[in-house]
Amino acid sequence: MDIKLSDTKSGTIIEPTSVHGILWLQTHFESTHWQSIAAGNVKIPAKDSQMLCEDAISAGLNVNLINALTISDKF
């Protein structure tokens, strides 16, 4: 896996998990954000995460998209 995308209620967290993932993300974000991206401290809108995911996969990266979970009281 190169990049992990985790959905939350307020956006999608980007977590690079390999050198390839970090390098690829550096081509898509300004240098001022690179350190925050590398630390997994960046959140983007959910609609943008889907485009980012598709673009990364088409570039040959392995992406793990974790959709938001809903906890039910009916268990």
Judge whether residue 13 has pLDDT over 50.
Answer: yes
Q: Which residue has the tokens 């939350």?
A: 8
pLDDT 10s digits, 14-59: 999 999 999 999 999 999 999 999 999 999 998 899 999 999 999 9
Distance CA 72, CA 19 (A): 37
Residue 37 is predicted with a pLDDT of 94
Residue 73 is predicted with a pLDDT of 56
Average pLDDT for 3-24: 93
28 Cβ neighbours under 8 A, 6+ residues apart = 52, 55
